[in-house]
Amino acid sequence: MVSELRSGEGPMASQRGKRIAIVVMFVLSLARAIVAAEPDKVATFEHDIWPIVVKNCTACHGAGELESGLDLRTVAGVRRGGNSGPAINPTTPEKSLLLERVVKREMPPSKHGRLTDNELAIISAWVKAGTIAEHPDKIPGAVSLVRDEDRQFWSFRPLTRPAIPRVTNSARGRTPIDAFLLTRLEAKGISFSPDADPATLVRRVYLDLIGLPPNPAELDSYLADNQPGAYERLLDRLLASSHFGERWARHWLDVAGYVDTVGFDTDATNIILSEGKWKYRDYVIRALNDDKPYDRFLHEQLAGDEIYDWRRAPHFTPEIRDALIATGYLRTARDMTHEEVGVIPQNFFGIMHDTLEIMGTGLLGLTINCSRCHNHKFDPIPQEDYYRLMSMLSPAYNPNAWLPVIPYEAKIKDRGLPDVSPTEKAEIERHNAELDRQQAELRQKLMEIRDPYQQRILAARLDTLPEVIRADTQAARDTSADKRTEVQKYLAEKFKEFLTVKPEDVAAALSEDEKKSVAALEGQTAELEKSRRKWGIVQALYDVGPMPATRVLIRGNELTPGDEVVPGYLRVLCRDEKDALGAPAPVAEGSSGRRLAFARWLTNPESPASSLLARVFVNRVWQQLYGRGVVPTLDNFGVQGQPPSHPELLEWMACEFRDGGWKIKALIKSMMMTTAYQQASHRESTGSEGTNAKSTEADPEKIDPGNELLWRMRLRRLESEVVRDSILAISGKLNRTAGGPPILIEAKPDGMVVVAKKALKDPSDEYRRSVYLVARRAYNLSLLTVFDQPLVATNCLKRDASAVPLQSLMMLNDAFLHDQAAALALRIAREHSAVPEQQIEAAFRLVLVRRPNANELETCGDLLRKQIELAAREGQSASDAAHQGLVQLCHTLLNTSEFLYAE
């Protein structure tokens, strides 16, 4: 799957399970045919009749005023009938009134629509089958659209912990995860590859955990650690690194669809930021570094504002502030209300639709957005369920009390919140007012000292003017600009410079004592200024205004609202109908408690939703570490998604994760402690361990050419940010400062996007980690875009990993690469002798984290010699030529394919 700009309307079921989809569609069409042709195959009111009724009938016979007293929403209503009597005749169904009216095409009235022949056939078959007589009458209201068998689909079922399989070659497995993989490999007569060479492995681990390669000292210290548990200690050390959060936050920010900009962000040259939005990015980094459990992480992001009574808190603790910032997760959708013309209901609902899509794919791996306009065509997600979920957003994205994303005029209140409590805000204001008062006093004293000198200097200057214009000039100076006569204007302009007494003129005239006093007063003013306090802005989501009703939008259109929905959850992820009605969580006044209740429903291990939540998260982490999900369709765990390649493995890991307390670092570590992760990515490796593979073993390349069973580690191209950050780490230029407002980027006229150097506070900020650059929906840094940083329409569940010529051109020709190669050459020259072999080895160890082999040494030796000769022929001095040669070598190594992959 690739990241894709969503196309306006209608969601697409996006996954590759094409054959499954075809089968499903085929089966569906077959089912219809059977229904029409064979009355005894009629299914149920809920599944076959209900969709037709909703589309054609309930506008008049189901909502609000019931025409002719007929309510067609339920079987009971059908049985009861309307003013003309029961709609269905239970004894002779073929004489039913309902049938008569639809067959004669009296109903629905032609101005409202027309049943298709197929729909007519289905209704006829259902009525004639007479099953209504046996239909239990107790189903109330909107009858169940989700059946128990729907809840038995593999991804909707509650988790059950599978037994760890026994494997033949148990020596080749290190952890239960290996056992699940090995049992499938052994069934095919193959096994894992030998362990990867330690240098390869350590680079892989560094890139995966912190997104930066190890430097030679780090590599050596690992290689020198011969004690048992060295590998685990390496993982623990990197999991504890503050760079871990920077690396893994990027994954989550993709899932959340985080960008720093507002609106559609379509103009390359115009970046619109919303104040303080970046704090959410830093929150995610911090949460991951702190190993915040996934359930807590989600509670804060979905309902941080409902966890604490921040509206009445005397002061904001860091916890309150973080919880408010965390709700930035619900603020990532494209919000067009920064312009007055954008403040329209269509956009309000668009933001909620996008947010639900982001939540659906990112948290549950479901294309719930398909249910925006109609019941989901493939998954058991009725349209009503979609709007039940929307009801948790609508008190905050309240269409009746809209807050724009940026105030388009000064008076308008926007959605940003101060990051301090009202009490603290008042206190800060008081404090600053006192500061202003004291500073005013000091200014007065300063003026008292300076003013006499100023007057004297001015008078002296006036005295030098010819007498004829002296008085007029003084008058011109003393008259305010808007009241000057033409002559005065002329004089004021002509003598502007002359009559302006500069501070340094006054300072020079002061006595020594006065100079001391002035210095002291100025010092005090500056000192006071230091104690000035500020508050910041956080971009949170919180309930506002009187609670709005949330209604089903017919065909997804906000102009045609239907029935009001009761807040609730996805029925298919609940035990039954009742379970799906979500009572709001008890929260402080001012909020509905709906989002907190939703967050608890998601994460409570007793809730079937937690099973899917765990599966989806575990699968995504697996994809990040192994290059492909156990379920390859990361955004679709529904019927149209691809089934898991290793179902039991997924179940086991999801159980471990959820029941072990949703510990993210432990989950990552468990996936990296395996033989599967530690094995070589190619078969010819001569690893020190794992020599058990028999020479008679079948050729895995023939048995499993796609490596779906993981008989070797997958070769993974580095993500865009890792490419850039690694280059900077290697050159030594990386600025490791964490957090803060984003570093600005700019689009050049030719389309190249680079860091905006003029806007940098410090030149070294150009080399901050990529996660701290402004994140846009499009027009991101060219170096990142060319390596598949996604276009963000809603969110991105999986990065593309293309190999196109533009990448080669950028690596060869971009000034950034050349600059970094030059910095790397200086670094090598500084740290090593000028012996070519040593320089080559140093360059290899820095760039590729290994030593060169004989062929490579020869190739690079040739290159170095040729380039130095060439530079010398161009007239460069010996030392310049030597440097030039080394730069070319460094540039060449950065251009190898190997550099771009985690092997």
Contacting another protein within 825-854 (CB under 8 A): 853
Amino acid making up residue 715: L
Q: For residues 519 and 525, give the distance between their C-alpha atoms in angstroms, rounded to a whole number.
A: 10
67-73 long-range contacts, Cβ below 8 Å, gap at least 24?
Answer: 73/141, 73/142, 73/143
Residue number, 43 or 791, with CB nearest to another protein: 791
CA distances from 465 to 461, 470, 486 (A): 7, 6, 20
Q: Which is nearer to another protein, 428 or 863 (CB)?
A: 863
Lookup result for tokens 């530690």: 678
What CA–CA distance (Å, rounded) separates 94 from 713?
A: 65
Site for another protein in 19-78 (CB under 8 A): 21-22
| Binding test (CB under 8 A) with another protein, winner from 791, 826, 829, 832 | 791
| Minimum distance from residue 225 beta carbon to another protein (Å) | 26
- As a whole number of angstroms, the distance between CA 367 and CA 637 comes to 9
Task: Work out how close the CB of 815 gets to another protein at its nearest, in angstroms, rounded to a whole number.
Answer: 3
Q: Select from 456, 555, 694, 851 the one that contacts another protein (CB under 8 A).
A: 555
CB 122 within 8 A of CB 50: no
DSSP string, 391-419: HHHTTTS-TTS---SS-SSTT---SEEES
> Of 806, 831, 834, 838, which one interacts with another protein (CB under 8 A)?
806
Question: How far is 864 from 839, CA to CA, in rounded Å?
Answer: 10
Q: Which is nearer to another protein, 178 or 379 (CB)?
A: 379
Q: Which is nearer to another protein, 505 or 856 (CB)?
A: 856
Would you count residue 266 as binding another protein (CB under 8 A)?
A: yes
In whole angstroms, give the CA distance from residue 632 to residue 644.
7
- Nearer to another protein by Cβ, of 546 and 749: the residue is 749
724-783 binders of another protein (CB under 8 A) = 748-752, 778, 782
Q: Does 188 bind another protein (CB under 8 A)?
A: no
CB of 4 to another protein, least distance (A): 5
Judged by beta carbon, residue 518 or residue 723, the one nearer another protein is: 723
CB of 330 to another protein, least distance (A): 25
Nearer Cβ to another protein (684/762): 684
Measured from the CB atom, is 2 or 698 closer to another protein? 2
492: number of Cβ within 10 Å? 18
Q: Rounded to the nearest whole angstrom, what is the least distance from the CB of residue 700 to another protein in the complex?
A: 10
Smallest distance from another protein to CB 45, Å: 23
Cα–Cα distances in angstroms (integers) from residue 199 to residues 195, 202, 219, 453, 635, in the given order: 11, 5, 7, 74, 34
Alpha-carbon distance of 389 to 812, in angstroms, equals: 50
Count of residues touching another protein (by CB under 8 A): 89
Which amino acid type is present at position 462?
Answer: L
Site for another protein in 108-137 (CB under 8 A): 110-114, 116
**CB nearer another protein, residue 327 or residue 636:** 636
Interacting stretch for another protein, rule CB under 8 A, among 250-258, 314-322, 768-776, 810-818?
Answer: 810-818
CB of residue 256 vs another protein: minimum separation in angstroms? 20
Stretch that binds another protein, among 287-295, 418-426, 503-511, 816-824 (CB under 8 A): 816-824
Where would I find the beta strands (DSSP E) of 440-596? Answer: 537-539, 551-553, 561-564
Give the shortest CB-812-to-another protein separation in angstroms: 6
Q: Are strands 561-564 and 716-717 parallel, antiparallel or unpaired?
A: unpaired
Site for another protein in 217-246 (CB under 8 A): none
* Shortest Å distance, C-beta 18 to another protein: 4
Rounded to a whole number of angstroms, the minimum distance from the CB of residue 562 to another protein is: 12
Q: How far is the CB of 221 from another protein (least distance, A)?
A: 26
Q: In this structure, what is the dihedral angle of CA atoms 708, 709, 712, 717, given to the nearest 10 degrees?
A: 30
Site for another protein in 567-586 (CB under 8 A): none
If one asks whether residue 802 binds another protein (CB under 8 A), the answer comes out as yes
**Residues between 312 and 371 that touch another protein (CB under 8 A):** none
Pick one of 741, 814, 826, 832: the residue that binds another protein (CB under 8 A): 814
Part in contact with another protein (CB under 8 A); list of ranges 6-14, 352-360, 404-412, 464-472: 6-14
Residue from 67, 818, 826, 880 binding another protein (CB under 8 A): 818
Of 515 and 818, CB closest to another protein? 818
The residue among 265 and 765 lying less far from another protein, judged by its C-beta, is 265
The amino acid present at 73, given as its one-letter code, is R
Chosen residue from 84, 346, 808, 877 binding another protein by CB under 8 A: 808
- Of 56 and 355, which has the nearer Cβ to another protein? 56
Q: By C-beta, is 15 or 726 nearer to another protein?
A: 15
Residue type, 902: A
Q: What is the DSSP letter of 47?
A: I
Nearer to another protein, 16 or 157 (CB): 16
Q: Closest by alpha carbon to 197, among 685, 552, 690?
A: 685
Token pair in block for residue 731: 């050159």
CA–CA distance from 500 to each of 454, 459, 492, 594 (Å)?
A: 10, 12, 10, 65
What tokens appear for 896 in the block?
Answer: 């190898």
Alpha-helix runs per DSSP H in 413-484: 422-463, 467-478
Of residues 850 through 889, those in contact with another protein by CB under 8 A are 853, 855-856, 859-860, 862-863, 866-867, 870-871, 873-874, 884, 888
Among 7, 83, 152, 480, binds another protein (CB under 8 A): 7
Pairing of strands 753-755, 561-564: unpaired
Contact window for another protein (CB under 8 A) among 96-104, 186-194, 241-249, 799-807: 799-807
Indicate the residue among 337 and 892 with the shorter CB distance to another protein. 892
Concatenating the DSSP letter of every residue in 686-751 gives: --SS-TTS-TTS--HHHH-TT-TT-SSPPPEEPPHHHHHHHHHHHHT--B----SSPBPEEE-TTS
Residue 307 CB, shortest distance to another protein, in Å, is 38
Contact pick of 10, 140, 141, 503 for another protein (by CB under 8 A): 10
Closer by beta carbon to another protein, 348 or else 899: 899
Q: Which of residues 675-714 bind another protein (CB under 8 A)?
A: 681-682, 684-685, 701, 705-706, 708
Distance CA 741, CA 353 (A): 28
Nearest by Cα to 68 from 52, 54, 51, 86: 86
CA–CA distance, 491 with 477 (Å, rounded to integer): 8
Residues 418-447 that bind another protein (CB under 8 A): none
Q: Could you tell me which of 639, 594, 726 has the C-alpha nearest to residue 367?
A: 639
CB of 344 to another protein, least distance (A): 15
| Cβ neighbourhood burial of 589 (10 Å; 0-12, 13-18, 19+) | exposed
CB 620 to another protein: min, Å: 18
Residue closer to another protein by CB (options 76, 120) is 120
Helices (H), 568-626: 594-603, 608-626
User: 271 — alpha (psi -120 to 50), left (phi > 0) or beta?
Assistant: beta
Residue 248 CB, nearest approach to another protein (Å): 25
Q: In the complex with another protein, which residue's Cβ is closer, 556 or 568?
A: 556
